[in-house]
Amino acid sequence: MTALTEMSLREVAAKIKSGEVSPVEVTQACLDRATATEPTLNAFSNIMTESAVAEAKAAEAEIKSGTYRGELHGVPVGIKELYDVAGAATTSSSAVRENWRAETDSASVAQLRAAGAVILGKTHTHEFAYGISTPTTRNPWNTDCIPGGSSGGSGSSVAAGSTFMSMGSDTGGSIRIPAAVCGTVGLKPTFGRCSRAGVTSLSWSLDHVGPLTRTVADAAVCLNALAGYDPRDPGSVDVPTEDYTAALGKDVNGLRIGVPSNYYFDNCDPEVEAAVRAAIDLMCAEGAIISEVDIPYPDQIMSIEFALCLAEASEYHRLMLRDNPDLYTEDVRVFLEAGEMMPATRYVQALRARNLMQQAWARVYDDIDLIVAPAVPAPAAKVGQEVFDWGNGIEEPITPVYVRLSAPANVTGLPAIATPCGFTASGLPVAFQAIARPFGEATAIQACDAYQNITDWHTLHPEL
């Protein structure tokens, strides 16, 4: 029998609904799993044992009384340390915010509670989400490797089996990067689809929130709970939501998939490229219509991403940087300082170029429904690794390596799902991402779920 903690969210939800297992049993199994793996992984900043058990007991009583709220009811989830959880610290995994406590729940946490989820604990982020390595935490597939970031604790906890879903945030790939290198699914919704109210900002114009899960179907369940307009978030967009689970169980026959002829496969690990192209070939064999697409403005993608992020992050941190500069970790501090010295005109120039890029990407989608490409160009880096050597005379620092394939969906705001599609010879996960039209989450879910229904990469678990 599959251990409870190795099940998908939907599998365990079915057992909770039928009464085969109780939310208390499931929550205790997750707590036990976390207890066993935390000495190695350190995925959590705060395991909320007492409140989680109380919430599980309440869910159990409610379900027994005949009120079943849906598939998240009684299911333990993790919350990235950036999110406010009432009564708990929101440290952003930083000494700067060591004593910062939340009085109310963030929008996402409130939505998850309303759906009946059990908040198991908070997961580590790279400090203030400003990085891709999450130094506090390790990758369950190889503890000598990073879990990616910035939602590294979320990727690590889901892959390890301590939670069935953990929330992430994605400014330059911070949901999709840890999902890809930890072998989980990572869903970055369309900009404005899910409220960011109560989530510590990195860059207001690029931040997205979304779930990391074991399956695409699980992500669809979570998106049902999280999607919706929220006037408290100035980036929120008032577009009707839909039942994203309606996209599950379909096939890819007739879906028009664009495969980039430039940018996404440049300086890409051969094992990653082979796995992603094999996934595309499989979708083609299942009836998807494949065509090549040219990615517009490839030389400006990272310029726009970093010009917006640097300026906005430095402004968010302006007072904290002056009050407590020594409390920041060095890699975050230096870019907060540098961001204060970039010309304002560069920021506005990036906003103007972003406008052109949005228009150009819209034209790319005239003839396709989705782009499928590598989620990240390399598997998990070793802890302490500073560069990737591409073997062509180019050594690239790890931050741009992980960000450059994620950034297009942040700059354009398009929805994207990282989906596991294989392993390297050394046993590290590999993933593709499917990028859909604005508010086209259902199309991406359909394609990625169809892929998971004919493959088994997502059913494999790390040995810990």
Q: Residue 148: which of 157, 161, 139 has the closest Cα?
A: 139
Site track 213-242 with another protein (rule: CB under 8 A), x = hit: ------------------xx-x--------
- One DSSP character per residue, 164-213 reads SEEEEEESSSTTHHHHHHHT-EEEE--TTSB--TTB--S-TTT-EEEEEE
Q: How many CB atoms are closer than 10 A to CB 425? A: 6
Considering 80, 154, 156, 169, which one is annotated as catalytic?
A: 80
Considering 174, 203, 205, 406, which one is annotated as catalytic?
A: 174
Q: Is residue 426 within 8 Å of 272, Cβ to Cβ?
A: no
Minimum CB separation of residue 294 from another protein in Å reads 16
Q: For another protein, which stretch binds (CB under 8 A), given 219-227, 243-251, 353-361, 436-444?
A: 353-361
Minimum CB separation of residue 303 from another protein in Å reads 4
Please, which residue, 70 or 298, has the CB nearer to another protein?
298
In three-state secondary structure terms, 435 is strand
Considering 22, 133, 150, 166, which one is annotated as catalytic?
A: 150
> How far is the C-alpha of 339 from the C-alpha of 414, rounded, in Å?
26
Please, which residue, 193 or 354, has the CB nearer to another protein?
354
Site track 309-348 with another protein (rule: CB under 8 A), x = hit: -x----------xx-------x---xx-xxxxxx---x-x
Q: Is residue 124 within 8 Å of 42, Cβ to Cβ?
A: yes
Minimum CB separation of residue 306 from another protein in Å reads 6
80 as an active site residue: the answer is yes
HSE at residue 230, side-chain half, CA atoms within 13 A, is 19
Minimum CB separation of residue 429 from another protein in Å reads 29
Restricted to residues 431-450, the positions that interact with another protein (CB under 8 A) are: none
- Name the strands in the sheet holding 76-80, side by side, starting at the edge strand that comes first in the sequence: 44-47, 118-123, 76-80, 165-170, 208-213, 185-188, 416-423, 429-436, 370-374, 256-260, 289-293
Please, which residue, 297 or 390, has the CB nearer to another protein?
297
**Residue 416 is inside which H or E element, if any?**
strand 416-423
Which residue do the tokens 């114009």 mark? 205
Amino acid at 198: G
Please, which residue, 4 or 350, has the CB nearer to another protein?
350
Sole binder of another protein in the list 164, 306, 439, 457 (CB under 8 A)? 306
Going by their DSSP bridges, the two strands 289-293 and 370-374 should be labelled as: unpaired
Minimum CB separation of residue 197 from another protein in Å reads 10
Minimum CB separation of residue 227 from another protein in Å reads 18
In three-state secondary structure terms, 136 is coil
Restricted to residues 283-302, the positions that interact with another protein (CB under 8 A) are: 297, 299-300, 302
Sole binder of another protein in the list 351, 364, 387, 464 (CB under 8 A)? 351
Amino acid at 277: R
Known catalytic residues are 80, 150, 174
| Residues of the shown chain interacting with another protein in the complex, contacts defined by CB under 8 A | 205, 231-232, 234, 297, 299-300, 302-304, 306-307, 310, 321-322, 330, 334-335, 337-342, 346, 348-356, 358
